[in-house]
Chains A and B, each alone.
Chain A
Amino acid sequence: MLKLDKQPSEAIYEIVLTGKFNPQKFHPQWFAKKKLLGKKEANKANDDFIVSKKKAFFTTKYLRISVEKKYFRITAKQLVFWDVAEEFAVNVSKILAESLDNGFLISSVFHFTFKSEKKMLKVLNNFNQNQKVWASILENSQLDELEISEETITKYGWMRRNVSLSVCGREDMENTIHLYVTTISIVDLEKTSLYNAIIEDEDTLKNNLVVVNKIINAYF
């Protein structure tokens, strides 16, 4: 797996299935019954299991699982466990085929922390190539958020990659920039199944990381 050229203070790698789900159904034991988790693994997952009408959440040694009414999130706890997350997503998409839409997201979320607020703001302003244009509107403009995207036709459908940067508002994260690189893939189910599209998708996360390295090397 590709390595990042600057170590983030926190990183999240996840695959998200979209559809209609009843979060209350997704107890760790349900996953054990469907052979997605071992019995002992499911029992241990009960320790931090939280469930409500809106959300079910638990963790295993490798993954964080979160099910909301429209989203089934599978997060790899570490990049090295990405294949475990992807395999889990493939298995879920086989079992819940009837509940799923024809799309999935691969999302990588990073927190990059800088020595000072001044340095962080300078980094963000480096992305603003149109400072002169904004100067006619705001005298001392500061870039806080930026979002760009691209669309591509894929083997089985279509994909949009979105890159966004913003100041992190978390209290425990000072002088930190969020960097999201997210792809939404829509699968033409006349060409293949959702699970097969996920299995064959070997490059999306890698390409997301290539994008992150380009940003790191050009701006951070």
Chain B
Amino acid sequence: MVVIPKVCESKHLYHKFDDLPIHSNDSEFHGEHKWEGIVLSIDNEKITSRMYDFKHEDYDEFVFSINQISEDDIELLEEGALFFYFIGYTLENGEKKKSDLIKFRRRVRHSDENIDINDILDTVNELDFDSIIKTY
């Protein structure tokens, strides 16, 4: 049963926040477009991924170098890892310079999200691999 707050109880929430100026410097990245990606394979320094473009509802393959990943996100790199890819620009002496950012997603697991390995194995065993794998 959800307890609905009265108008006067919830009203203080709307305007309580400080209205402070947002400081941004020119060298800051200005994002213009976002993709969501999944790492398909890692071959030495070459990472192959599939990207989804929400704006155009389109998939595309994207290959990038491990050097494009921030030091913090390297530990999150694995096959199946999800990431955001932003393209945009920075301003240098008033001039727009193309730029991009890769941010790996961080997912914390809640205690009630524990996955039972036996459930996974049961699911794998139930799959009909013969119908998926072609023999030549």
| Interface class of chain A by DSSP | mixed
Closest to B76 in A: A38
Q: Are B110 and A38 in contact (CB under 8 A)?
A: no
> Given that A94-B108, A182-B14 are contacting pairs, would A80 and B71 also be in contact in the complex, using a CB cutoff of 8 Å?
no
B37 to chain A, nearest CB (A): 12
Q: Are A180 and B2 in contact (CB under 8 A)?
A: no
Q: Are A78 and B30 in contact (CB under 8 A)?
A: yes
Closest to B73 in A: A38
Q: Are A149 and B7 in contact (CB under 8 A)?
A: yes
Q: Are B2 and A91 in contact (CB under 8 A)?
A: no
> Given that A83-B84, A168-B19 are contacting pairs, would A186 and B108 also be in contact in the complex, using a CB cutoff of 8 Å?
no
A193 on interface, CB distance cutoff 8 Å: yes
A100 to chain B, nearest CB (A): 12
A20 on interface, CB distance cutoff 8 Å: no
Query: Among B40-48, B60-68, B99-107, which stretch is in contact with chain A?
Result: B99-107
A115 on interface, CB distance cutoff 8 Å: no
| A-B interface contact total, Cβ < 8 Å | 98
Q: Are A87 and B107 in contact (CB under 8 A)?
A: yes
Closest to B3 in A: A186
Closest to B108 in A: A91
Residue numbers in B under 8 Å from A179 (CB-CB) = none
Which residues of chain A in 156-209 are interfacial with respect to chain B, using CB atoms and an 8 Å cutoff?
Answer: 157-158, 160, 162, 164, 168-170, 172, 178, 180, 182, 184, 186-188, 190, 193, 195
Residue numbers in A under 8 Å from B10 (CB-CB) = 160, 184
Q: Are A80 and B31 in contact (CB under 8 A)?
A: yes
Q: Are B103 and A62 in contact (CB under 8 A)?
A: yes
Q: Are B22 and A10 in contact (CB under 8 A)?
A: yes
Select one of B19, B101, B108 contacting A170, CB under 8 A: B19
Number of interface residues of A (CB under 8 A): 55
Closest to A3 in B: B55
B5 on interface, CB distance cutoff 8 Å: yes
Q: Are A81 and B31 in contact (CB under 8 A)?
A: yes
B122 on interface, CB distance cutoff 8 Å: no
Q: Are B109 and A188 in contact (CB under 8 A)?
A: no
A5 to B133 Cα, complex, angstroms: 50
A174 to B2 Cα, complex, angstroms: 43
Q: Are B84 and A182 in contact (CB under 8 A)?
A: no
Residue numbers in A under 8 Å from B22 (CB-CB) = 10, 12, 77
A200 to chain B, nearest CB (A): 15
Residue numbers in B under 8 Å from A71 (CB-CB) = 16
Residue numbers in A under 8 Å from B97 (CB-CB) = none
Which residues of chain A in 23-74 are interfacial with respect to chain B, using CB atoms and an 8 Å cutoff?
Answer: 34-41, 61-62, 71, 73
Q: Could you name 15 residue pairs across A and B whose Cβ atoms are closer than 8 Å? A: A12-B22, A34-B108, A38-B73, A41-B70, A83-B36, A84-B103, A91-B106, A147-B14, A149-B7, A168-B19, A180-B14, A184-B5, A184-B10, A188-B1, A188-B2
